[in-house]
Homo-oligomer: A and B are copies of this chain.
Amino acid sequence: MTQVIKTIAEMRARVAAARVGGKIVGFVPTMGALHDGHISLIEAAVKRTDYVIVSIFVNPTQFGPGEDFHNYPRPFEKDLAICQKHDVDAIFAPSVNEMYPRETLAWVTVDNLTERLCGESRPGHFRGVATVCAKLFNIVHPDIAFFGQKDAQQAVIVWRMVADLSMPLKVVVCPTVREPDGLAMSSRNVYLSPEERKDAVRIYESLVRCQELIEAGERDTDVISGQMYEILKQMPGTKIDYVSICDAETLEELGQVQGRVLIAVAVRMKSVRLIDNILVDTPTQ
């Protein structure tokens, strides 16, 4: 039976009671509109922990002006059914006013990591993400929090925040879940027109091509990203925000593929912005 919890006070009390019972607390923070990607995180949490909390909170402080905060999908009943089916113990679904009862002055920032990649076209976004994650961790007090590799930069930033601020939890990053044709699962995929949905597969194709090139021995990131652009350009009316081949921990752009490398893509299709990435391990020289 999944409990739906709306207040910080009740959430704290429930977790404290679970902890007194000796349970390990697992946490999957989401903005709702749950898809198979989220479900894979929930399944990982159910497998590894004893008391699983899913938060559903569309966080206003991570949306910029003109972004889709108000239109972001909020199918709560469907989300609840998914959580029930997958043995979630509690949904934490606070109101905006419960989370932000006054103007927020305190923020968590993560230097360097927040400005790169998606940070360039979404100023303030990752500050909002880091801050709401810090708040949620302080409320939910999990032993393990589960994030998806699809939001690679978010995962790196949260991991670094937890390490630098000595937060008492472990961050686990789970593999990206994809549609049969390769498109990464995203709550924003529902916005795509049928035509756009068909084109969107190019994103994954460009990443697969990248991986093939690296496996074939190519190390020059200009050569690799050039071939990725060729594939991405086949999406009519789509603006390519970035193709990045960067260090998986520092997100610094690389000239040569080396070590643990993140290859990340962001494109804008009309009003929808889609991101995807893969991780590739290569020998360090």
Contacts and interface: CB of A to CB of B under 8 A. Distances in A.
Interface of A: 8, 12, 99, 102, 104-113, 130-131, 134-135, 138-139, 141, 160-161, 163-168
Contacts of A8: 166
A131 B165 CA distance: 7
A251 to B, nearest CB: 11
A252 to B, nearest CB: 12
Contacts of A168: 12, 138-139, 141
Nearest to A104: B164
Most buried by B among A161, A163, A165: A165
B111 A166 contact: no
Contacts of A161: 106
Nearest to A8: B166
Given A8-B166, A166-B8, A168-B141, A106 B135 contact: no
Given A165-B131, A165-B138, A108 B107 contact: yes
